[in-house]
Amino acid sequence: MALDAKTLEQVQGVAALVTQYGVPMVQQLVTNIGSKNDPTAEEIEALADDLKDLDSYFEDDPAPEGSDPA
């Protein structure tokens, strides 16, 4: 696999960070890919269920000054 210069730079940076901060989270991320070699069409479509409403990530905003939680 050929890597362009920027990707190579990122890989080198990541390698340094992984060395510095540890690998468990990285391992978990990669493991969580949950590779399927022959998924069904239904399993593929089910991936859409993982997509959340983007607003939900920003909910529970700090209450603006003077706001009434009502």
Partner 1 sequence: MLRRRRSTFVVAGLLVMMVAVAACNQGCATTTTGKGYDVIKAANIVLDTSMTYLGDEYKAGRLSEEDRATAKQVGAQVQAAIRTAITALATYKRLEDADKLAPGDADKLKVVVDAILSAQKILTDYVAAAAKAKAEGGDG
How big is the chain by its Cα radius of gyration, in Å?
A: 20
CA 52 to centroid of chain Cα atoms = 13
Minimum Å gap between C-beta 39 and partner 1 is 4
Query: Taking CB under 8 A as the rule, which mask of x and - marks residues 5-44 in contact with partner 1?
Result: --x--xx-xx--xx--x---xx--xx-xxxxxxxxxx-xx
Contact 33, 25 (CB under 8 A): no
Distance CA 63, CA 6 (A): 41
* Binding interface with partner 1 (CB under 8 A): 1, 7, 10-11, 13-14, 17-18, 21, 25-26, 29-30, 32-41, 43-45, 47-48, 50-52, 54-55, 57-62
